[in-house]
Chains A and B, each alone.
Chain A
């Protein structure tokens, strides 16, 4: 929290601004005091920029009053007003490549007597301002040679040399990257806390506003919706009602500043079809079953697998995908328990998919359990019969495979073909 607040620097009372028929601002009353950073927020078109421009006298006011230092701005000459209020516009594209130093010195106009040139005091102020914004080493560069972020800082420096007690900023970080955003707002914050300045800044980013401002003023369609400390103003209700956005209000654990986490409207990814059809039991091992498991799960099948040795790739994939599988100790031949559990899963399955896995004595039982189910449950044999490169059982695996086929198991050459086949309603047992 900022230290004790000073006098009112800027006050709008029942301000009305109209553009032809359209009421841009209705009955706005706010105050900005010395030592306060007030963030002006609201959706596009809510009147933030209009309010700032009305305060500056750039647009006529239909009703109400704007006062700076206790005096109505309408009574002030442009020069006087410039000495009370400094403005940093949203962006400024310079037409000429003037030196940065000269550009900043423009801010001294309001303090110079007519027809007088700048003096040493003015130049000192410009140097100080450039140092404050960290651009003193670019003082002699042309203003067009700076990056967007640097140019915003030059505008800030120019506002500083105006020596005005109140600073008006219009979306100062709109075109800045995150680093420059934080840098600029940090410097402005310092002005407020260390030098007792008053700042009224139109900001589009609520989180930044909550982070850097003492008070947040919310406008919606030209009306004042709320005005208070960020913690008091920011709420999920506010975001929904004023911006039409769903959000979660969180608190930054380090600083205690509130921040809003928007929930994206609608679903961005189509929901995965879960647990639609099945169970389909996949027999595999050694990585041959993994692609089948992934694909079939993505296609929405409820899967089981077995029996797989722990540490086997397929076992890990199944674990990852949350698929129930029968596990066996690594490298051990399938024990009684494993085979029993596998049998149970097979009994419940409505289809069986046999992956082209490497068969050895340790897992031959997986294949040998299957012929009992041929004829009751559709069996799909992915890939060709086991041949020398995956049959390590001396031909028994191949024999079983052929037996399965003779008993009605359907060979499918590729995974795609399997998916197509399984897509048909008749692919699974009733």
Chain B
């Protein structure tokens, strides 16, 4: 203890705090710039000849004139490529969540066998795009659907300088547009034309069936198109989805047509009240008839009693690709309007 009154406040530090902050920020800014300038890899010299293409999201992308190594990160796009005879250009395909899914999470066994896919071609696209696997495949073009996040697409194109085309059809007609786009990019001539013609024929055929039915005054059958079921009800395709478009195209009425959500779950009572004439359920990726048999009111549905329940390969209902039109539509027509198709 001192006898004297205490001294006044000790002097403030010689360098005010604000100056310190600004100094640090300046240093950081310089560091960032220097890092970016020095450390970032210079993109390799531009490949000889590029072509500008507009994808489904309206992005204009400069793609190589003749891409030979393509990473296809969506099963529907893979289908389109194969149908166009471009299988040999595919070097990587999507595999959902690597160790927990792999190839079989995104592709059916028959697809894997038919298209000769191997797990060494795997690039995880969802839930998170694996940059390493993508880079390791050394593609010169990347085709994705919107399942890959926007920021991942940004990253691939901006940071790694890989051209990315987003193909995401929203209507059946859009499938044809995408086929034409691919044909343009890969310079597929005649095979593309015949494919497009076949697609258009199938669409027209389906429409004509519908026209005949309305001319005859036949009532359109009500259909439940379901891809999953649990103890609460049935998961169906609402308005705006391909499933819904297909049903409309094949001249049937979906019981989920009035729903608001794109992938609504309809409860057992709701389905019972709607009492669809026919039920089509998706098969594949772990889903089969047993799941639907255990759903509420299954056995009470008149369609079940009348044996108007049919299973369809789920890829035909969900993957927006040529196969959907070439095989899915005829199958649906055959199930729902056996007499009209003949």
A residues apposed to B, CB below 8 Å: 6, 34, 69, 77, 79-80, 83-84, 111-116, 160, 163-165, 167, 191, 195-197
Contact = CB atoms under 8 A, between A and B. Distances in A.
Nearest to A191: B1
A113 B10 contact: yes
B226 to A, nearest CB: 61
A151 B126 CA distance: 61
B12 to A, nearest CB: 7
Nearest to A86: B1
B11 A113 contact: yes
B13 A83 contact: no
A195 B13 CA distance: 33
B6 A84 contact: yes
B7 interface: yes
Contacts of A112: 10
B1 A79 contact: no
**Complex A-B, nearest 9 residue pairs according to Cβ-Cβ distance, in ascending order:** A83-B6, A113-B10, A197-B1, A196-B3, A195-B1, A163-B2, A69-B5, A191-B1, A114-B13
Contacts of A80: 6, 8-9
Question: Do most interface residues of chain A lie in helix, strand or loop, or is the interface mixed?
Answer: loop
B4 interface: yes
B13 A34 contact: no
Interface in B1-42: 1-13
B3, B6, B10 interface centre (most CB from chain A within 10 Å): B6
Given A191-B1, A195-B1, A163 B6 contact: yes
A184 to B, nearest CB: 15
B6 A116 contact: no
Nearest to B5: A69
A111 B7 CA distance: 9
A113 B11 CA distance: 6
B214 to A, nearest CB: 82
A34 B10 contact: no
A235 to B, nearest CB: 33
Contacts of A111: 7, 10
A165 B2 contact: yes
A310 to B, nearest CB: 69
Among B1, B3, B10, B13, the one with the most A-chain Cβ atoms within 10 Å of its Cβ is: B1
Contacts of B6: 69, 80, 83-84, 163-165
Contact of A164 (B1, B9, B11): B1
A163 B9 CA distance: 14
A164 B2 CA distance: 7
A116 B13 contact: yes
Say which size band chain B's interface belongs to: 10 to 19
B10 to A, nearest CB: 4
B4 A165 contact: yes
B5 A195 contact: no
A217 to B, nearest CB: 21
B3 A165 contact: yes
A191 B3 CA distance: 11
B1 A163 contact: yes
A167 B7 contact: no
25 contacts: A6-B3, A34-B3, A69-B5, A79-B9, A83-B7, A84-B6, A111-B7, A113-B11, A113-B12, A113-B13, A114-B12, A114-B13, A160-B1, A164-B1, A165-B3, A165-B4, A165-B5, A165-B6, A167-B1, A191-B1, A195-B2, A195-B3, A196-B1, A196-B3, A197-B1
A84 B2 CA distance: 10
B5 to A, nearest CB: 5
Nearest to B15: A115
Nearest to B3: A196
Contacts of A79: 9
B256 to A, nearest CB: 62
A247 B8 CA distance: 49
A162 to B, nearest CB: 9
Contacts of B4: 165
A185 to B, nearest CB: 16
A112 B3 CA distance: 20
Nearest to B10: A113
A302 B5 CA distance: 75
Contacts of B1: 160, 163-165, 167, 191, 195-197
Nearest to A76: B9
Contacts of A196: 1, 3
Contacts of B3: 6, 34, 165, 195-196
A165 B10 CA distance: 17
Contacts of B13: 113-116
Nearest to A197: B1
A343 to B, nearest CB: 83
A196 B13 CA distance: 33
Given A80-B9, A113-B12, A164-B1, 5 more contacts: A84-B5, A84-B6, A113-B10, A163-B6, A165-B6
Nearest to A77: B9
Contacts of A195: 1-3
A138 to B, nearest CB: 21
A155 to B, nearest CB: 14
Contacts of B11: 113
A197 B12 CA distance: 29
A97 B5 CA distance: 33
Interface string B68-91: 000000000000000000000000
Contacts of B9: 77, 79-80
B301 to A, nearest CB: 68
Contacts of A114: 12-13
Contacts of A6: 3
A34 B4 CA distance: 10
A254 B3 CA distance: 32
Contacts of B7: 83, 111
A396 to B, nearest CB: 90
A114 B10 CA distance: 8
Q: Among A69, A79, A113, A191, find the residue whose CB has the most chain B CB atoms closer than 10 A.
A: A113
Contacts of B8: 80
A198 B132 CA distance: 74
A195 B2 CA distance: 7
A196 B2 CA distance: 8
A191 B1 CA distance: 7
Contacts of B12: 113-114
A108 to B, nearest CB: 11
Interface string B226-243: 000000000000000000
A316 to B, nearest CB: 63
A322 B10 CA distance: 80
A312 B4 CA distance: 77
Contacts of B10: 111-113
B131 to A, nearest CB: 43
A80 B9 CA distance: 7
